[in-house]
Structure 1
Amino acid sequence: MFRSVLGKTLGFVGYTVQYGCIAHCAFEYIGEFVVCSGPSMEPTIVNHDIVFSERMSRQQCKIQKGDIIIAKSPFDPNMNICKRVTGLEGDKVCTSSPSDLFKAHTYVPKGHVWLEGDNLRNSSDSRSYGPIPYALIRGRVCLKLWPLHSFGSLSESPTRRIIKARSDSD
């Protein structure tokens, strides 16, 4: 009797550990579900929207201008931020607000990206804390899951401030 209970208990623990390892690897290397909060990405992503953030693009260095990413906050490592990539290393970006009389520009340093929220008037982003290291990026948002009426891939920036570089074939 004792052996039977012990065997079943150890079997259950073994399966739990195996499935836990599989789930950990899936969330660490494939992607994760993220509940977004705050107004900085409105109207693209609003408070309490649920998105799927895939990790493969980050691992293969395939983040591009216009992508929405999840990254660790440069000020609080326990908090994530959701922003749009508006500049890559070597890009010249406008660091002043649209209402500023004189426009200031800076170059994004190597190994960094420039992030901005779609809601420029209500977003704390690279305009206030500067470019962030590529290593802080956790994943690229590829799908909005909730609410169901807006299920699908995400739209381009409503501010239309992103200028993609022309390729040599253009």
Structure 2
Amino acid sequence: MAFMKFVGKTCGFMGYIIQTACITHCTFEYVGDFVMCSGPSMEPTLQTNNVLFTEHISPRLQRLRRGDIVIFKSPSNPKQNICKRITAMSGDRVRGSFPRRSQVVPRGHVWLEGDNASNSADSRVYGPVPVGLIRSRVVCRVWPFDKITLLSSC
């Protein structure tokens, strides 16, 4: 009898753990998550080891705007996530590199650039980025604590 009570309590506890894991997974996958930055391409706005809170809703609802900082899958290495700023939207004309002096951002794409132009591989290198590669929009920096900053207009 005591064994059955133990099994019942253990199963109940495991059920709570599984429910909590499912809710946590869904929250991080569909609502928002935390991302750590690395590399100098977004300096001075963001530095290596800054931790950012990002949200996944704006990209899914196509509510991105010029000036938003986004996390996206690298067009050249899909296993890598990159952080850049949207500088042009579909239909905008941007100044490209040689041999194309300027080009129009195609429908369903955005132009992404790092804030540190002299040390950033971005759309000036690989061209317009499909909106489908954008994973999330940066809302705020949460680490280091002395530099907590809202990085979007929500």
Same fold (TM over 0.5): yes
Per the alignment, residue 104 of structure 2 pairs with 107
Per the alignment, residue 86 of structure 2 pairs with 85
Per the alignment, residue 49 of structure 1 pairs with 50
**Taking structure 2 as the reference length, what is the TM-score of the superposition?**
0.92
Per the alignment, residue 39 of structure 2 pairs with 38
CA separation in 1, counterparts of 2:73 and 2:8? 43
> Which runs of 5 or more residues in structure 1 are unaligned?
157-170
Q: Is the 8 A contact 1:52 1:144 kept in 2?
A: yes
The Cα RMSD (Å) is 1.8
CA separation in 2, counterparts of 1:47 and 1:151? 15
Per the alignment, residue 21 of structure 1 pairs with 22
Per the alignment, residue 132 of structure 1 pairs with 129
1:60 aligns with 2:57: no
Per the alignment, residue 153 of structure 1 pairs with 150
Shift of 1:8: 1.9
Q: Is the 8 A contact 2:139 2:152 kept in 1?
A: no
CA separation in 2, counterparts of 1:76 and 1:40? 17
CA separation in 2, counterparts of 1:60 and 1:155? 16
Shift of 1:2: 2.1
Shift of 1:55: 1.2
Per the alignment, residue 4 of structure 2 pairs with 3
Per the alignment, residue 113 of structure 2 pairs with 116
CA separation in 2, counterparts of 1:122 and 1:9? 54
> Which runs of 5 or more residues in structure 2 are unaligned?
none
The amino acid of 2:68's aligned partner reads D
Percent sequence identity is 51
**Taking structure 1 as the reference length, what is the TM-score of the superposition?**
0.84
Q: Is the 8 A contact 1:44 1:155 kept in 2?
A: no
Q: Aligned with 2:78: secondary structure? A: coil
Shift of 1:103: 7.4
Residues 139-159 of structure 1: CA deviation (Å, up to 9, x unaligned): 110101111121121289xxx
